[in-house]
Structure 1
Amino acid sequence: MERESRPRFTRRSARPAKKLPKDRLIDLPLKLVVWIVLGIPMAAVMVVSVGFLSIRNIKHRRQDRLNKSREGTGAE
């Protein structure tokens, strides 16, 4: 019961590329659509929230600056 000795790494013969099964062909576009459908709303929420916070911050800073300038006049 001797094993046949053959080289460990053999070169594969060139053969034509195998066609992907139909479910694999549908898989990638479906993944892309899901990422786009879920990703765009999430990105929009992030952009809107960051914009809202920065606008709020700018308004508060301007209000603080106005209050400081009023304190310095001494007209109370």
Structure 2
Amino acid sequence: MRTFSKGLLVVVFGGLLGLAGCDQQGPMEKAGESADEAVEDVTEDQGPMEEAGEEMGDAWDETKEAGDKMGDAMDGD
């Protein structure tokens, strides 16, 4: 029983030390968070290539719909 108590005590204190260390951020972690925020700020807005890609996708959808309507009109449906 005494060995179990010592083992439990070591586990509890080890866990508390681990949790205490989680609250403190080092300079590298702060720099990493700053970099993450900067990337999020840049990627929120659409760039010109993404806008062009979306416009091409919309044009493709419109062309396909027009072709389907033309095919239906030729079939007499």
TM-score normalised by length of structure 2 = 0.49
User: Which one has a bigger Cα radius of gyration?
Assistant: 1
Higher helix share: 2
TM-score normalised by length of structure 1 = 0.49
